[in-house]
Amino acid sequence: MANIVVVGAQWGDEGKGKVVDVLTPFVELIVRYQGGNNAGHTVVIGKEKFILHSIPSGILRPGKRGVIACGVVVDPASLLEEMRELAERGIPLQGRLFISNNAHLILPYHRLLDEADERHRGSRRIGTTSRGVGPAYTDKAARVGIRTGDLLDEALFREKLEANLRIKNAILQAVYAVAPVRMEEILPAYLRYGEALAPYLCDTTLLLNEAIEREAPILFEGAQGTMLDIDHGTYPYITASNTTAGGASTGTGVPPTKIHGVLGVAKAYTTRVGEGPFPTEVKGELGDLLRSRGSEYGATTGRPRRCGWIDAVVLRHAVRINGLDTLALTKLDVLDPFPTIRIAVGYRYRQAILHDFPLGDRVLAAAEPVYEEWPGWQSSTAGLRHVDDLPAKARDYMDRLTELTGREIGLVSTGAVREETMVQDGSFLTRWFPGLRPAPVSPR
């Protein structure tokens, strides 16, 4: 059985939560390896919708185990609320959820710094969720972070918190004119959080490597998307962690030699949240139609997402830096009514045509997409469950994406619920997960 990484191939919000949920029956452990509660994965089961921010999507499947690894930053109040909501909805977590005792904490001053810094940036703001994720990663890199395991040692937690508050309060007051955070506002609450989380804390690196030794299949779940990676994304309009496949090793302690493949998830069009360049963005009525048909509003913030056509330059970049073996294409049904569908195959910058993703943010901001136009199918694909049931023009569109990226499309989603999913027979997915089979072809 295979250990597979699932990554977003665009700017996030590609539907990774649903894809992970579909693949979970064929693995034992589902591992979140980076990000914080700034990400939201939405899974629809029947008439119920679940939005998960820190807990891996696979926890919704009975008997499966979820891991929040050391590469994640944890807001304990948010996580405990998420755990409470799942328990109230009949999803037990005891003995099924494991949290790294080396995962770094998000503290109240991180959120204040996040909000204040965004205000201070003015026109250069990033468009963060203001959840404190970036500042928590900053402290981690600066070697002043506080980890979940520290909550179990009151003297150590107090010592680290006192040292940090001296510095953070000085910055909040002197730079941002924000009132200081007081020790008595944090210490008792966080010690209570530690007591509540204690049964779930463990050495997740040991847990995962022991599972690999006994050949238990593992699914690694990324948050956000490739283009928000701190090293390989549209810097500085990115998140604060490595969202790409390499982050699965550094964020879990599982060596790359124990990972067998990478699945990239992409929408049939493109969206992004927040600021930053977006070459294929479509505004006006067309953009509004994409947004309304795709329900493109952030699962964490509710912010409307920016929408545009699919970008093959971005997808090729994602293939290259993640080592993608195959693609999952989601929300194909959103494109059903469009008479013409565009694919960006390059960028025009000054007098040149660029076919590879440019590294400079000024270049990308000034680049204009070079489009191919494809005829739309203008018939409903919603709820179809076999690729052979798709209209011929929809299959042509997918075939062209395969040509442009050099990667097969192994899975297609045509709706929000689990069952509205197509699997390509003979794809990497059916080789990785032999029990995952395409649905029967509908009678014609």
Q: What positions carry a catalytic annotation?
A: 13, 41
Residues present in the chain in total: 444
User: If we measure between CA atoms, which residue out of 438, 30, 37, 416 comes closest to residue 223?
Assistant: 37
Strand bridging mode 104-105 / 409-413? unpaired
Contact 4, 432 (CB under 8 A): yes
The dihedral through the CA atoms of 278, 279, 283, 285 has a sign that is: negative
Q: Give the three-class secondary structure for 49.
A: strand
> For residue 162, what are the CA distances in angstroms to 75, 154, 308, 368?
19, 12, 47, 51
Cα separation, 308 vs 271, whole angstroms = 6
Contact 252, 70 (CB under 8 A): yes
> For residue 176, what are the CA distances in angstroms to 165, 169, 237, 275?
15, 10, 22, 22
Amino acid residing at 105: L
User: If we measure between CA atoms, which residue out of 63, 71, 127 comes closest to residue 97?
Assistant: 63
Contact 325, 199 (CB under 8 A): no
User: If we measure between CA atoms, which residue out of 347, 383, 386 comes closest to residue 365?
Assistant: 347
Cα separation, 404 vs 400, whole angstroms = 6
Largest CA distance in the chain: 71
The dihedral through the CA atoms of 382, 386, 389, 394 has a sign that is: positive
- Look up residue 131 and give its DSSP letter: S
Cα separation, 352 vs 348, whole angstroms = 6
Tokens of 357: 């993703």
Contact 219, 20 (CB under 8 A): yes
Q: In what order do the strands lie in the sheet with 4-8?
A: 201-202, 97-100, 65-68, 29-32, 218-221, 4-8, 261-267, 326-330, 409-413, 421-423
Cα separation, 134 vs 434, whole angstroms = 39
211: left (phi over 0), alpha (psi -120 to 50) or beta: alpha
